[in-house]
Each structure stands twice: as structure tokens, then as C-alpha cells.
A and B are shown apart, each in its own frame.
Chain A
Amino acid sequence: MYGTTGKILRVNLSTGELAIEELEEDFYRLYPGGKALAGYFLLNEMSPNVKPLAPENLLVIANGLLTGSPVATATRYVVSARSPLTGGYGESEAGGFWGPELKMASIEAILITGKAQEPLYLWIQDGQAELRPAKHLWGRSPAEVQADIRAELGDEKIRILQIGIAGENLVHYACITNDLRHFNGRNGMGAVMGSKNLKAIAVRGRQRYQTLAYDPDQLMTLGRKLSQEVKKHPSSADLQDRGTPGLVEMLNAGGILPTRNFRQGTFENMDNVKWEVYEKELLTARRSCYACAVRCKREVAVDGEVSPYGGPEYETIGAFGPNCGIDDLHLIARANELCNTYLLDTISTGATIAFAMECYEHGLISPEDTGGLNLRFGNGEVLLPLIEMIVTRTGFGDLLAEGSRRAAEKIGGDAPFFAMHVKGQELAMHEPRGKYNVGMGYAISEIGADHLVVTHDPALANPDSMAFKSARPLGITQAQPPRSLSPEKMEHFYILEKWNSFEKVVGMCFFGPAPRSFIPPEDVLTAVKVVTGWEFSMEEALAIGERATNMARVFNTREGFSRKDDTLPERLFQPLENGPLAGNAMRREEFEQALTVLYGLKGWESQTGQPTRERLEALSLGWTTGLMETK
């Protein structure tokens, strides 16, 4: 088998047992990494109704098929488990350097179950693994933990994945970092690690990637070509120049910059948080992930000190800035720094604070509830204290640490209306009332509101645009307006969801393949061919993506999820308050009709959203049908 050693490391933290197994190529071709491998193991090795923070929850960490190859943006791995935030299938991807290092250490995936009696960390070196004490690392900052582990093991090249105090304290949206700067942000995977008393996974690998590839020469040629393409393509060149913070101004212009908890679509003080301010006042350098010429990561100085954790991305600026009515970019950078020190997901943290602000303004919570904090929109003074309270689960922070859905249920009254979540996960900073497929992605995603399910609508609105033309090999033939949920638009969705899911299986970033960015679909297929030696078609790629999505859907069906959970916050069916889209709303009836059309395309039952036996068998997933009958 080429492209992988096929080795899986099993870790039982309750017993301390470690074991390595090898996957067969026939199996790997159906589940070739990332979310496909994760979905397979979660369905096969975990019983239904396991509590997310119980020892029996299975934590799967899996590299993508192409992760570690010299193909730009192929750096990613998935962390997957039952999510404490949603109660459903949990998944979060990250780039950086840790995944490629795991590949060079000859391990493709790690399956972790049980709970250690005392904090431990896992040390993997060139195919060997051991568990080591981590009590001395518990409660310390990521920078300290990384330095201490490297010193303890005597190697500065060790790559470290770890949780922070938020994960230790089981905050439901605690995240995971690797190399201090790259985050498995969503779905609370840090809390799952924390519940297992697993502080970190340190990795060192010395294998050369070329020894794994089927055709190393062609692979290097392709890698060089794509790296040269980065500066030529407008999308990747812009990502290199400004990174995601450049989105603030563009979304504001379109009236789709979530503002004051999604009440509004434009922010009157946007000029204070846009890229030009970031570039002038925060930026110190541009950084990259492994072998990626895009270099979209920003390094910043916070209060005059260069941060070891990287600068705020667009999502973080949006969540702590306009969505909380805050226009101080330095304060937003401090909030980012604090979240990255404690390892909290910045999207859910900012969105949950915005939810609390709206509850406060409506009198649903009082200064007595908040410990005296005045939670009015725009009051930046509360931001940092509130993050501290969430992480330490102090006072009102303990309630917010559960996420906005659970907090709303406890607050009662109209609070659930103000909780902008799907399946318990807070919306990312993209306003669906201006791009309806993004809304459908929020609604139907198995992990709860996720903005990376499909290419965003504007990219495919003009048939003469570069992005639209680059989507043709996927089977996209007709341009569609952003504010439409027509049957033709659902066909777009169905194709794009499969393609994006495939990207996650192979470990490529959203900022790599077309139509979002610069790598033509044909080159992605070529990369798979030269890495594995497989004859590989677009049809097989899309089937892999669809298979992975269906396993996640089966997982959720088994846990009791159904059509009622594929919905959107009620606010999105009401008019936006300001900006160029003022007065616009999604329409409930149109949304429900589109959902039925989409279920039909996906081979899911219209009443339940459950995959049909026929579709599962067509995807070689016949073995999963019995799993849904046990619910």
C-alpha cells in the first residue's frame, strides 16, 4: 500500500494498554483517512448513548490521505468523538505541522478510549508509543507545556498537540491546539480530551514522505507546480497577503457581517476592525502550515509582545468584534490571546457572549446574575473578565461554559430565541440571509452550525467567473443566485458538500482546492493517484465524501437526531435590521421545501432525514443500516 503505513495506534487510558494494528488497502480505499476513518471507528467501536464526557467516548485522531505530502494545504487531521456541545457526531479539523509529523512517525490514526487515573501525555516516536505522567503540566499554558515536553524528551523538533485549562475544566467548547498556533476549534473536542485526563500528544517522526508515495517524482513535480500557482491565483494571493482578516470589509459591504448577535448585517464602526488597521497596528509576520505556500496565518503583537499563539482570524474578529458590538481591534486581539492561552473555541466563546449580551439587554439576566458585569453590546470592558469566568467556570461563567443552547434553556423566557446555534453549536460569523447555501450548510451539518460544508454562494453566482469555471469538473453547470434555495441550487449543494467532505477525508484545507481557491479539482485527483497508485476518478472522490457524510448522519440518527434538528435559529427567518439586505429574511416554507429536495438528492427519508438502506448500500455502507435500528 502506498501513501500510508496503514498503522493505527490504539490507546486505552484506563488500563494503559497500547497496541498497533495495520489496515488493509481494500478497507483504506473506502475510508481513506480523516473524517471517513473517524466515522467508521466511531460507529463500529462505540455503543449508542455514551455520554460525551464518559470514559467510553472514543476519541479518534486521523490524518487525511494526502496529509504530509508536498501538496500545498494537505496538512490536516481530524479529531472526532461524540461532542459535548451537540451530543452528536463531533468533528474538528486543523492544519499546522502535527499531522504531517504523525505521518512521518508512521502512524495514520490514534484511537483513544478510557480515562487515566491521573493526567498523562502520549509520546509517539517513529512508530513506538508510551504514556507518560502529565500532572506537572496540568493547569499550565500551552507555551509552557510545549517547552517542558520538548525539554523533558530532549528534542526541540517534537510537535505537540494539547488541551488547555478550558479542556481540563470541561468547558463544552474547549478546543485543541498543535504547535500553539493551529486549532481544532469546534465541537468541544478539548473537553473530551480533558475528560480522559489526556493533556497532550507529542510526536516525532523521521520517515521521509517520498518513501511512502507511489510516484515520488511526479508528486514533487505537482507539489512545485501548485506552490508556484499560489502567487498567480488571485484567491490564494489574497489569502497570503491579508489572510482571513481581509474578509471583514467585504462581508460588511455585502450586508452579511454578523453584528450584535445576528440582528444586523453591517457594523457602523467596521473601519476600526478592518484589515488596514490590523496590518498597521497588530501584524508582525506571515506564517504557514507544513509545506503550504499560501501562508495565510498571521503573527501579531499583543500589547507590544509578539504572541506565540498567532493573530485573530476573521472568525475571531467577527465573533468578539461586530457580533458583540465591539470595535477595538487591540481588545479583540487580547481576547484571542486569552482564548488561545486557555484553549477555548473563539467562535463559540464570542457567540455565547453575544447571546448573553442580548439576554442582558432584554432583562432576562441582571447584574446580580452576571456578578456585576454590564453586558451591554459594545461594552468591551466585560470581554476579558467574562472569558476568565467561563474558563474557570466561576459564577455566571459556569452557565456560559455549557454553550448558548444549554444556557438559554436554564435562563428561560425568550432566551432560546437569542441563542444562535444549530444542534447546540454556535453559528460561525457568516450571515445566511445573504447566502442561502451557507444557511443550509448550518442546518444540515452533522456537527451543528458549520460554515465549511459547501463553497459559499457568491463564488458560483457568475458563470463567467474563475471560481465558477473551476467548479465545472465537479458537475456544476449552471450559475445560481446567492439568495435562492431552488431545486437547482440544492443540486449545487449536494455536489459541493460531497467535494468538501472529500477534502476533509484527504486532509486538504478549505483554502486549497477550487472552487474556493487555486488548486484545480483535476490536480487533487492527480495528487491521490501519484500518492497511492490508484486509478482514481471524480466519481470515486465524490463517493468517498458522501460516504463520510453518511456515516456521520448514521451516528446522529442512532443518537436520536432527525429532521427536526436540521433547522436554523428562528431569527434567520426574520428580517435583517440594517445594511444593504435590510428587510431580507429566509422563508421557512422555502427552506423546508429545499430541505426535502436535498434529502431526496442525498437518498435520505423526507420525514426523518435518515439515510435509506438503498443509498447506504450504494455507498458500501450496508453494514450501518442495523446500527440505526438500535436507537
Chain B
Amino acid sequence: MKITLGGQLSYQLPGHPRHLEVQLEAPARLEEVLTGLGILLPEIYLVVVNGELVELQTALVSQQDEVKLYPPVDGG
């Protein structure tokens, strides 16, 4: 599964990766996948799975999915 960390989310992980690839052997709850990666869930504002905006709390993902995560969007 491909994950894109938008904006400041990439700064939560060492090396500040903007893209991650995760191997999923079975469908899983996105929250659990992200927690396992060390990503802080409260910092996520938007979740896009395969181009569709979804709720983090209920999202299920599979190996072929593309996930984009975005933090709260502020101004400037």
C-alpha cells in the first residue's frame, strides 16, 4: 500500500519521508496501520483513499490502495 504524507505530517517520522510503502497481507483498519508506523493520529485532518475523501476512524485499507494523508490546513 502506498501512503503519501502531506504537509507537516512527514516531519513526524525520521528522515521526513513524503511517501511510504507498506506491505499488507490482509485488509486492515487504517488507524492501526498508521499507529504501527508511528504516525500521530490527532495530527491527521484529511484522509484520501484512492481519490475519495474518507473518515479515518472507519477506513479499511488493502494492499493495492493509495492513501494520502493531510494535516489541518491553515492559512498564509
Contacts and interface: CB of A to CB of B under 8 A. Distances in A.
Interface of A: 233-235, 237-239, 241-242, 244, 246-247, 249-251, 253-256, 313-314, 428, 430, 435, 438, 451-452, 455-456, 458-459, 461-467, 510-511, 516, 580
B9 A465 contact: no
A580 B73 contact: no
B76 A234 contact: no
Contacts of A462: 42, 45, 72
Contacts of A452: 75-76
A247 B42 contact: no
B53 A234 contact: no
A244 B68 CA distance: 19
B43 A250 contact: no
Interface of B: 6-12, 16, 41-43, 45-46, 48, 53, 68, 70-76
B12 A234 contact: yes
Contacts of B10: 238
Given A241-B16, A456-B72, 19 more contacts: A233-B11, A234-B71, A238-B8, A247-B7, A247-B73, A253-B68, A253-B70, A254-B45, A256-B73, A314-B76, A435-B73, A438-B75, A452-B75, A458-B72, A461-B45, A462-B72, A510-B75, A516-B76, A580-B53
B6 A253 contact: yes
Nearest to A255: B53
Nearest to A441: B75
Question: 8 closest pairs, A vs B, by CB?
Answer: A234-B8, A458-B72, A464-B42, A234-B11, A238-B8, A580-B53, A465-B42, A459-B72
A237 B41 CA distance: 19
B8 A235 contact: yes
A285 to B, nearest CB: 19
Contacts of A465: 42-43, 72
Contact of B74 (A242, A516, A580): A516
Contacts, number: 87
A421 B42 CA distance: 35
A59 to B, nearest CB: 26
B7 A246 contact: yes
B54 to A, nearest CB: 10
8 contacts: A235-B8, A244-B76, A250-B46, A250-B70, A456-B74, A462-B45, A466-B42, A511-B76
Given A246-B7, A250-B46, A458 B76 contact: no
B66 to A, nearest CB: 13
Contacts of A238: 7-8, 10-11
B31 to A, nearest CB: 13
Contact of A510 (B42, B68, B70, B76): B76
Contacts of A580: 53
Among B8, B68, B71, B74, the one with the most A-chain Cβ atoms within 10 Å of its Cβ is: B74
Nearest to A428: B75
A234 to B, nearest CB: 4
Contact of A459 (B9, B11, B48, B74): B74
A467 B73 CA distance: 11
Among A233, A249, A256, the one with the most B-chain Cβ atoms within 10 Å of its Cβ is: A249
Among B41, B42, B75, the one with the most A-chain Cβ atoms within 10 Å of its Cβ is: B75
A461 B43 CA distance: 10
Given A253-B68, A456-B74, A516-B74, A237 B42 contact: no
B75 A456 contact: yes
Contacts of A451: 75
A576 to B, nearest CB: 13
B75 to A, nearest CB: 5
A219 B42 CA distance: 33
Contacts of B74: 235, 455-456, 458-459, 516
Contacts of B43: 234, 465-466
Contacts of A235: 8, 74
B6 to A, nearest CB: 5
Contacts of A516: 74-76
A237 B11 contact: yes
Contact of B72 (A314, A428, A461): A461
Nearest to A464: B42
A255 B46 CA distance: 11
A596 B21 CA distance: 50
Nearest to A256: B73
A387 B30 CA distance: 47
A253 B53 contact: yes
B23 to A, nearest CB: 25
A234 B9 CA distance: 7
Nearest to B43: A465
Nearest to A579: B53
Contacts of A428: 75
Contacts of A510: 75-76
B76 A250 contact: no
A250 B73 contact: yes
A428 B76 CA distance: 10
Contacts of A244: 76
Contacts of B11: 233-234, 237-238
Contacts of A234: 8-9, 11-12, 43, 71
A251 B8 contact: no
A430 B75 contact: yes
B73 A251 contact: yes
Among A241, A428, A452, the one with the most B-chain Cβ atoms within 10 Å of its Cβ is: A241
Contacts of A435: 73
B71 to A, nearest CB: 7
A454 to B, nearest CB: 9
